[in-house]
Structure 1
Amino acid sequence: MWTGTTPRIKVLVIDDSALVRKNITETLALDPEIEVVGMANDPLIAMDKVERLQPDVITLDMEMPRMDGLTYLRQMHAKRSPVAVVVISSLTPQGSSVALAAMDAGASEVLAKPDGNTSIGALAAKLSFHVKAAYAAKQRTRHHPKAPFTPAVRPAQVSHPASHAKPGDRRLIVIGASTGGVEALRSLLPALPQGLPPILVVQHIPAFFSKAVAERLNTLTPYEVREAVNDEAILPGECLIAPGNHHLMVVADAHGYRTRLTQSPPVHHCRPAVDLLFRSAAQTAGAHTLAILLTGMGSDGALGMHAIHQVGGINLTEHEDSCVVYGMPRAAVNLGVVDKLVMLEQMPKALLEALAELPT
């Protein structure tokens, strides 16, 4: 946490729109822990300002003249820049594809760029939160460099027959993640075999981008991964990801479980929120619930894990040593509701072992 005695986080705002630059700057200026040290209308100007101003974080538009944001980000990544990057991308399928490439190139966070339907005011509640998350993630990775992405283990390497779903099986797997979570999911999900109980995922990402993430994951896994839709049956052997800007919850019906999507107010500045998924799982699946909380800033998911703990489910959290940001797992640990802390590369094995312990 920041205090009045610690240096403020220095931010450089890069966007070709003068209005967006002004609005982002004014929004961040409301947070006493953040200082906007400059603005730039394209990456070529930004290069000089980064050198002179030494920002901790930049907010980066993707579509700009002379050089696009993705090219600039890739150059920064190649030079191992110490500056954290928050991408602000358009809410379109094409923008989401570029945003996903931006995360591959080292962006810590992706937010939706204001358009005709939304204003920068819609970002105000969470913009400073994500700037702080990006800063925390960069600080950690500078001191604990991570190897290039590879799946934790191959599906054939991890197996536990008792973990596979059978007719009438009531077990449910729920996963929550935030900063660094897209990479963590790319490690965990492809390492899981087919035939497991259903998996529901809340990852803090904007609308449209969640679909791009689901489609990418679906190409890596031996089972189907896709965005959830409202009021659909939740089936074994599938992984459903919460759409951006919608809370995902689970409800019971005569045949098992169904999804419920809502746009009720954000929780912890987030929609979707992990807590809402976890609490609904506790209420609906009870002791048949396995919850996993991966890397992320803040405390979302901790209270949901408390609810799961109270009904006899099993809670696993990612170990501090493999987290990009050890915020959400730490909050759950501090509540005393975590059954096991697990390094990310060991999470597939731990997940299957925990499933085998749950009542079916």
Structure 2
Amino acid sequence: MNEKIKVLVVDDSLFFRGVLTKKLAEFDHIEVLGYARDAFEAKEKIPQLKPDVVTLDVEMPKINGIEFLKQLLPERPIPVVLVSALNISVFDALAAGAVEFVKKPELSKSDTISAFIEELAAKITIASRAKVTPITGTSKISATAKPSFAPINSSRLVNTTVIALGASTGGTEATISVIKDLPEDTPSILIVQHMPPGFTKMYAERLNRICKMEVREAVDGDIVKNGLVLIAPGDFHMKLAKLGSNYVVKCFQADKVSGHRPSVDVLFNSVAEVAKKNAVGIIMTGMGRDGAQGLLNMRQQGAYTIGQNKESCVVYGMPMVAKNIGAVMIEASNENIPLVLRRHLATL
């Protein structure tokens, strides 16, 4: 029998500390070692208790979660799952080295709290298998040298070439490293990142400030065009469709696919059907198999397919499954994927 995942809860809210410590302890595979009321208490308890995973509220008194992560992870690279309200600082905490996050529920809804605990337990399981890389400096992405891209005939690729990218755990930062320096003439990129409602819009706005391409949360009917990155909205599937001479995206709610909504498989399967050989598929870090079959369908229709390599993944799950079933044509680190992508586009 596998050993239990040992968890330390860090939260300044008496209510949430109580809920988390009580409810997480009900899972057979989780052992709650205790709690800390703030970062100072957590720094004292972590060396003593040696948890496998820490759950962390981002907004805390004295030292916030982001500063805590910057101090903790270089000394002890422990997987951290953020437990936060809808707040842009979540992405700063992910940039500082946290591997997952869960949105805090509305306290008045017991069914919402139950779903929240189920999701948190699942994220703790994923985090326990994650590779944590301590971050030095202010950001994971700031030290990356700007690549020199091969020129492409962008006018020839307008409305013909589509890039589809799927990611989960560790994907928020890995995706930034892929797209942040891509030139404005890059064909449209459609992204599914497993993320709850509200956060996808903030994530798109964050990327739009960083990237040369325009980035925004997708809206049903958006036209796909060069220089535009569209991110699937949380709790909505996104697929590619054809409308006259244009590609468009359709955003819709339906049953979860591969355990997710949005699902990478939904996007990849639609791109395989609609764009066929005029497409590139990129599957990145994440737990499970979402996107693997869709990427195989893309490759079988003539698309060029890229998988993030094991060494650079926080969780080598989705790319591994895709590779094992023959969906991946080439593997590369998240930092090298932009070069691989542009070299391929230059051959079209």
| TM score, norm. by length of structure 1 | 0.86
**Which residue of structure 2 lines up, in the alignment, with residue 127 of structure 1?**
120
CA distance in 2, matches of 1:80, 1:135: 18
Pair 1:82 & 2:77 matched: yes
Q: Secondary structure at the match of 2:336?
A: helix
Q: Percent identity?
A: 39
**Which residue of structure 2 lines up, in the alignment, with residue 63 of structure 1?**
59
**Which residue of structure 1 lines up, in the alignment, with residue 241 of structure 2?**
251
**Which residue of structure 2 lines up, in the alignment, with residue 159 of structure 1?**
150
**Which residue of structure 2 lines up, in the alignment, with residue 101 of structure 1?**
92
What is the 5 A alignment of 1:260-271? 260-271=250-261
Note the alpha carbon deviations across 1:248-279, whole angstroms, 9 max, x for none. 22222113121222232333443322111111
Going from structure 1 to structure 2, the CA distance change for 1:262 and 1:297 (only over 3 Å counts) comes to: same
Q: 1:328 aligns with which of 296, 318, 333?
A: 318
**Which residue of structure 2 lines up, in the alignment, with residue 300 of structure 1?**
290
Whether the 8 Å CA contact 1:112–1:207 is kept in 2: the answer is no
Note the alpha carbon deviations across 1:172-200, whole angstroms, 9 max, x for none. 10011122212212211123122122111
Note the alpha carbon deviations across 1:63-101, whole angstroms, 9 max, x for none. 344544334333324x5223221111112xxx1x21112
What is the 5 A alignment of 1:5-154? 6-77=2-73, 79-91=74-86, 95=87, 97-115=88-106, 119-138=112-131, 141=133, 148-150=140-142, 154=146
Q: 1:206 aligns with which of 196, 210, 222?
A: 196
Whether the 8 Å CA contact 2:166–2:291 is kept in 1: the answer is yes
Whether the 8 Å CA contact 1:42–1:65 is kept in 2: the answer is yes
Root mean square deviation, CA, Å:
2.7
Note the alpha carbon deviations across 1:233-258, whole angstroms, 9 max, x for none. 12221011122232222222113121
Paired AA for residue 99 in structure 1: V
**Relative to structure 2, which stretch is displaced further, 196-205 or 42-51?**
42-51
Pair 1:174 & 2:161 matched: no
Deviation, 1:316, is 0.6
Whether the 8 Å CA contact 2:97–2:133 is kept in 1: the answer is no
**Which of the two has greater helix per residue?**
1
Deviation, 1:295, is 1.5
Going from structure 1 to structure 2, the CA distance change for 1:281 and 1:31 (only over 3 Å counts) comes to: farther
Residues paired across the two proteins, number: 345
Whether the 8 Å CA contact 2:152–2:345 is kept in 1: the answer is no
Deviation, 1:29, is 3.7
Paired AA for residue 127 in structure 2: A
Deviation, 1:354, is 2.7
CA distance in 1, matches of 2:26, 2:238: 31
CA distance in 2, matches of 1:218, 1:109: 22
Whether the 8 Å CA contact 1:318–1:342 is kept in 2: the answer is yes
**Which residue of structure 1 lines up, in the alignment, with residue 341 of structure 2?**
351
Q: Secondary structure at the match of 2:277?
A: helix
Paired AA for residue 8 in structure 1: K
Whether the 8 Å CA contact 2:164–2:191 is kept in 1: the answer is yes
CA distance in 2, matches of 1:277, 1:335: 18
Going from structure 1 to structure 2, the CA distance change for 1:265 and 1:233 (only over 3 Å counts) comes to: same
Whether the 8 Å CA contact 1:151–1:187 is kept in 2: the answer is no
CA distance in 2, matches of 1:270, 1:145: 33
Deviation, 1:305, is 0.7
What is the 5 A alignment of 1:278-289? 278-289=268-279
Q: Which runs of 5+ in 1 are unaligned?
A: none
Q: Secondary structure at the match of 1:182?
A: helix
What is the 5 A alignment of 1:226-241? 226-241=216-231
